[in-house]
Amino acid sequence: MPVLSTRTQVLIGIALALLLAITRGNHFASLNLPSASWAVFFLAGVLLRPRWVFAGLFALASALDFSMMSSGTVSDWCLSPAYWVLVPAYASLWLGGRLYARWHSDGLHSLLLLALLVISSAFVCNLLSGGGFYFFSGRYPEPTLAGWLPRIAEYYPRFLSSMTLYVGMASALYIAALAFVGPRRALEIQ
């Protein structure tokens, strides 16, 4: 993926942070849209160069989660010692985005690569986040592999479809920018 200007990266970073904030949970700014969390971490890996962006987005997600819990808008069911497994889970999405950025080219075959990396990084994220919660949250007495495996089929398609929606919209915006203003200008917002 071509290097985006600093200004473009700042604008994209702000947009991703806002998307994360308005789609994560039930709080004062939530628009009741499907969660964009997975897509935000993946797209940040694709589009934003600074490594600290991952930590910043995770801090924002955590602040939203903990503020919703303390305000009583959500229960503390998901906030357990297993919460911190989200760090490697979200890192798998971010790294999937980084791989895509490295291998991207402007062509149709790149869409196949994007689809493969979205599917695979989302699957790893689901294994880590869902497995971490199931085995380490303390919410399930005597967790077993046999008890966990059906949960993958139950939750992965829903999370993948939300991620695909947002990554697909971002891809459409990128393609539209290339078509309307040309490859060089699409990457430099003045």
Q: What is the pLDDT of residues 69-126, one digit of tens each?
A: 777 666 666 677 888 999 999 999 999 999 999 998 877 888 999 999 999 999 999 9
Please report the pLDDT score of residue 190 as a whole number.
37
The pLDDT confidence band at residue 34, using thresholds 50, 70 and 90, is confident
Q: Could you tell me if residue 89 is inside a domain? A: yes
Cβ atoms of 30 and 68 within 8 Å: the answer is no
Instruction: Give the separation between CA 31 and CA 20, rounded to whole angstroms.
Output: 11
pTM score, two decimals? Answer: 0.89
Count of structural domains within the chain: 1
Q: Could you tell me if residue 56 is inside a domain? A: yes
Q: Could you tell me if residue 1 is inside a domain? A: no
Q: Could you tell me if residue 71 is inside a domain? A: yes
Please report the pLDDT score of residue 56 as a whole number.
96
From residue 54, alpha-carbon distances to 33, 95, 114 in Å are: 22, 10, 20
From residue 175, alpha-carbon distances to 105, 111, 189 in Å are: 12, 11, 15
* Residue 31 or residue 143, greater confidence: 143
Q: Could you tell me if residue 27 is inside a domain? A: yes
Please report the pLDDT score of residue 26 as a whole number.
62
Q: Which residue from 142, 122, 119, 118 is spatially nearest to 130, judged by alpha carbons? A: 122
Q: Could you tell me if residue 182 is inside a domain? A: yes
Rg (CA), the chain: 17
Average pLDDT, the chain: 86
Domain that holds residue 154: 6-186
Q: What share of the chain is helix, strand, coil (3-state, %, to 5)?
A: 75, 0, 25
Q: Could you tell me if residue 23 is inside a domain? A: yes
The pLDDT confidence band at residue 189, using thresholds 50, 70 and 90, is very low
